[in-house]
Amino acid sequence: MPVYLDNAATSFPKPEPVVRAVCDVVKDVGASPGRGAHRHARRAESILSGCRDRTARVLGVSDPERVFFTRNATESINVVLKGFLRPEDRVLVSGMEHNSVMRPLRGLAARGVATDIIPTGPAGELDTGALETMLKDRRTRLVVLVHASNVNGALMPVDEAAEICDKAGVPLFLDAAQTAGIQPVSAGDRKLGMVACSGHKALLGPAGVGVLYVRPDLEVLPLVEGGTGSRSEEFEQPDFCPDRYESGTPNLPGLAGLSAGIDFILNAGMDAIREKEIELAMLLENRLSEIPGVRVFKPRLRGTGTVSFTAGRLNPAEIGFMLDEAFDIAVRTGLHCAPLAHRTLGTFPEGTVRVSPGHATTVEQIEYFMKSLRSILDRAAR
Ligand SMILES: Cc1ncc(COP(=O)(O)O)c(C=O)c1O
């Protein structure tokens, strides 16, 4: 049986209503929102605003106009880092960040932006005491935290970190790529500065839509400028939101799919989906720990169903190849675009085998995965 266990990369299969919503827009809607007054354009506008309302609800944002759509979480992260940080600024990041954060910061180093890593333990746990001390440096203008690691599912202590950042007057930017749709983001209640997320992971939408939230008091320059369908008589980029951050034709089929994905989550219940995925992760952790030579990188606090492990001398890439070739099981192996996280966990440079169940994963699929893995490891031991 084909088994997909790579939901941390992108969720699959998408719920049927998501597939239908995407197809319906491609088939039926011949316009872009804000471009025209005919019925197609009005329908496009209502798809866009419906998606904005739903996304704001999922993120805990009271004003939907502060929610902006991008192409993916990577673009949202780039908007914030390049549009907010200035030369001489210092930014603090956890030891579990993705390259979507680390690479733009490496680029910004050439422009005088310094990056420091907040001490993070070998299971991915953040040292909040160190964060408090590091925030005393006046140059610190931003703290970036991944909400949950895409390598081992470790959940960051966001409530505590948000309180510490708020006291220091430094915005906290949450990378919720892995968590939006499965963990409450509570952007408003936590007074988060900015939030970036992917539409195609736990929010269950198709690829091609990312989300960005920016608190109204924070000045972030847009990364892309151009036509917005508004104030067309002016050469200046509109200064009001969301138009300031949304230039060019949006991905309307993607937005319709994202809306359907969010409706699916709200109907099924975010807590129920999370509990199920975390239960599957615990089952995996327990079963993997029973195998001699297998090392599971368990987080202290788990935020998602993502599990990472290594198996003695057998390379993660070989295991992934055999799972796919012989058993039709999809997992991800290697560094998962997060070399910093692997350095923190002690799994750099080979990385790990990452198994990430999703909303549609069953216990039978996990059992089949375990049986297949055992057979690969038994054969390698002979
Ligand atoms: C923690 C984290 N941040 C950022 C990203 C980038 O997301 P996207 O693919 O939407 O650009 C990912 C994707 O894997 C991720 O896991």
For 165-224, what is each residue's pLDDT tens digit? 999 999 999 999 999 999 999 999 999 999 999 999 999 999 999 999 999 999 999 999
Q: Are 197 and 177 in contact (CB under 8 A)?
A: yes
* 288 and 238 co-located in one domain: no
Give the end of a domain, one of 232, 267, 302. Answer: 267
Give the end of a domain, one of 216, 236, 267. Answer: 267
**Is residue 36 over pLDDT 90?**
no
C-alpha to C-alpha distances, 18 to 2, 175, 253, 382, nearest whole angstrom = 21, 24, 10, 46
Q: Is the CB of 210 under 6 A from ligand 1?
A: yes
Q: Which residues contact 188 (CB under 8 A, 6 or more apart)?
A: 60, 61, 62
Structure confidence by residue, pLDDT tens digits, 243-278: 999 999 999 999 999 999 999 999 999 999 999 999
How many other CB atoms sit within 10 Å of the CB of residue 230?
Answer: 13
* 221 and 318 co-located in one domain: no
Best probe residue, ligand 1, of 98, 223, 340 (max atoms within 8 Å of C-beta): 98
What DSSP character marks residue 293?
A: T
Distance 8 CA to ligand 1 centre (A): 9
210 CA closest ligand 1 atom index: 10
**Is residue 41 over pLDDT 90?**
no
pTM above 0.95, yes or no: yes
148 CA closest ligand 1 atom index: 1
Q: Are 118 and 164 in contact (CB under 8 A)?
A: no
pLDDT tier at 363 (50, 70, 90 boundaries)? very high
Q: Is the CB of 72 under 6 A from ligand 1?
A: yes
**Is residue 126 over pLDDT 90?**
yes
Distance 72 CA to ligand 1 centre (A): 8
Distance 76 CA to ligand 1 centre (A): 10
pLDDT tier at 128 (50, 70, 90 boundaries)? very high
Best probe residue, ligand 1, of 7, 145, 150, 340 (max atoms within 8 Å of C-beta): 150
Helix (H) or strand (E) holding 316: helix 316-327
- Residues 120 and 6: their CA atoms lie apart, in Å, by 25
Give the end of a domain, one of 216, 240, 267. Answer: 267
Give the structural domain span for 364: 3-12+270-381
Strand order in the sheet with 294-296: 294-296, 307-311, 352-355, 332-334
Task: Provide mean pLDDT across the span 54-78.
Answer: 98
**Number of domains, the chain:** 2
